Amino acid sequence: MEKSIRILFIILRLFLGGFMIYGGIQKFQSSPISPIEVLEKANKFCSSESEPTLQKILYISGAKQTGYFWQVLGICEFIFGLLLIIQFTGFIASLFLLPITLHIFLFHLFLEADEVSELIQTGALFLVNIVLVLKEKEKWKHLLWIKPI
């Protein structure tokens, strides 16, 4: 039983790490977008029934327009994904990935709630991340619960 649980956690780390590495690489696959292109694309979705699509376009394009945020996010996803796959650094990587997986899940929850499959996928990634952090609670629980003297 102990061995199968260890194997399960290895599979979970590989699953989450693989998704993060893939997501990090994908951040560098698209070419930079100019502000004029963003405006032209956004103008196509200015009606009230297209508001959710417009929000997604403006949010992602805004992150790309900063000139650094989209790339930093991609680098972090890639590096933390690699660290997660490595046995020794898995715990620290799962801690660093927690806000990223939360952000990805919340993006899909609030801006793509109609995409149920993506919501389930990103929810699973966030849940796996939480499980990986909770698995190592002995390493960090002393930071939260102080024993009285």
Asked whether the beta carbons of 27 and 70 are under 8 A apart, the reply is: yes
Query: In the prediction, which pLDDT does 41 show?
Result: 77
The predicted-structure confidence for 95-146, as pLDDT tens digits, reads as follows 999 999 999 999 999 988 888 999 999 999 999 999 999 998 888 877 777 6
Q: Indicate if the pLDDT at residue 77 is higher than 80.
A: yes
Among residues 68, 63, 67, 100, which one has the least CA distance to residue 81? 100
The Cβ-side half-sphere exposure at 135, using a 13 Å CA radius, reads 18
Letter string b/e over residues 101-123, b meaning 16 or more CB atoms within 10 A of that residue's CB: beebbeebeeebeeeeebeeebe
Q: What is the average per-residue pLDDT within 52-66?
A: 82
Q: Per residue, what are the HEC states of 13-49?
A: HHHHHHHHHHHHHHCCCCCCCCHHHHHHHHHCCCCHH
How confident is the model at residue 148, as a pLDDT?
Answer: 66
CA nearest 80: which of 119, 34, 24? 24
